[in-house]
């Protein structure tokens, strides 16, 4: 299993297919085949901003035209609460993520900041990185509406909560998670309007 920083690509509506055609990274990110050799097993998250649905699993990347990610028949988890591949019918984001089974409190602390950090432009179509220190709520940036997802991490037990929640068409400035002692939240939001 391989993990690297700032690995993110787009893909067009992969449906339930095992093979996802990777279309390349947005500005400021790396593609899977830039970060990993062909044939590597990678922890992935597929997120469909238009619906808020997501899927996590251990896939295999392969070089080609286009480069691909192969999804397993049984995934780790998804927003439907099953272990089946989801049917993604719109454009998706494919990210390399830190798996819950390898959680380490010192790594979680590296990602914590006081406010959303922009990672791609401004206005509709932009992405922000979300995080909150322990006991603080997780709040969407002001303005517009947002599709979002986040993970929770409880430092005292060294446990990741998996993808804790996701949503679409949420107004900017909305609190999407209340502050909990000893828990941090880490995620992404995509501005829709």
70-114 pLDDT tens trace:
999 988 778 788 889 999 999 998 988 765 444 443 333 333 333
Q: What is the rounded average pLDDT of the residues 24-31? A: 85
> What confidence score (pLDDT) does residue 14 get?
96
The per-residue DSSP string of the chain comes to -B--TTBEEEES--BT-SEEE---PPTT-B-HHHHS-TT-EEEEEEE-TTT--EEEEEEEEE-SSS-EEEPPSB-SEETTSSSBPP-B-S-EEEEE---GGG--HHHHHHT--SS-EEEE-SSTT-EEEEEE-TT--EEPPSSSEEEEEEEEEETTTTEEEEEEEEEEEEETT-EEE---TTEEEEEEEEE--
122 pLDDT tier (thresholds 50, 70, 90): low
Assign 11 a pLDDT band (cuts: 50, 70, 90).
Answer: very high
Domain ranges of the chain: 8-97, 101-191
Task: Pick 32 or 30 by higher pLDDT.
Answer: 32
User: pLDDT digits over 130-150, tens only?
Assistant: 777 677 788 888 888 888 878
- Mean pLDDT for the chain overall: 78
Q: What is the pLDDT of residue 179?
A: 79
Q: Tell me the whole-structure pTM to 2 decimals.
A: 0.59
Q: Which pLDDT score is estimated for 24? A: 94
More confident: 84 or 152? 84
User: Rounded to a whole number, what is the distance in angstroms from the first to the last CA of the chain?
Assistant: 37
Give pLDDT, residue 163. Answer: 47
Q: Which residue has the higher pLDDT, 19 or 177?
A: 19
**pLDDT over threshold 60, residue 116:** no
Q: How confident is the model at residue 161 (pLDDT cuts 50, 70, 90)?
A: low
Please, which pLDDT band fits residue 8 given cuts at 50, 70 and 90?
A: confident
């Amino acid at each position: 299993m391989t993990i690297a920083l700032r690995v993110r690509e787009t893909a067009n509506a992969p449906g339930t297919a095992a093979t996802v055609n990777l279309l390349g990274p947005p500005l400021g990110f790396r593609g899977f085949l830039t970060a990993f050799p062909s044939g590597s097993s990678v922890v992935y998250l597929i997120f469909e901003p238009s619906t808020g649905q997501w899927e996590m699993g251990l896939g295999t990347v392969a070089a080609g035209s286009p480069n691909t990610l192969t999804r397993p028949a049984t995934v780790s988890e998804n927003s439907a609460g099953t272990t089946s591949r989801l049917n993604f019918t719109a454009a998706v984001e494919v990210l390399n993520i830190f798996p819950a089974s390898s959680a380490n409190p010192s790594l979680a602390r590296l990602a914590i900041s006081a406010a959303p950090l922009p990672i791609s432009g401004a206005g509709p179509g932009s992405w922000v990185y979300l995080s909150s220190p322990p006991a603080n709520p997780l709040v969407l940036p002001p303005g517009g509406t947002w599709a979002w997802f986040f993970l929770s991490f409880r430092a005292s037990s060294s446990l990741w909560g998996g993808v804790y929640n996701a949503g679409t068409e949420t107004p900017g400035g909305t609190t999407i998670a209340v502050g909990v002692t000893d828990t941090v939240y880490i995620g992404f939001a995509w501005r829709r309007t």
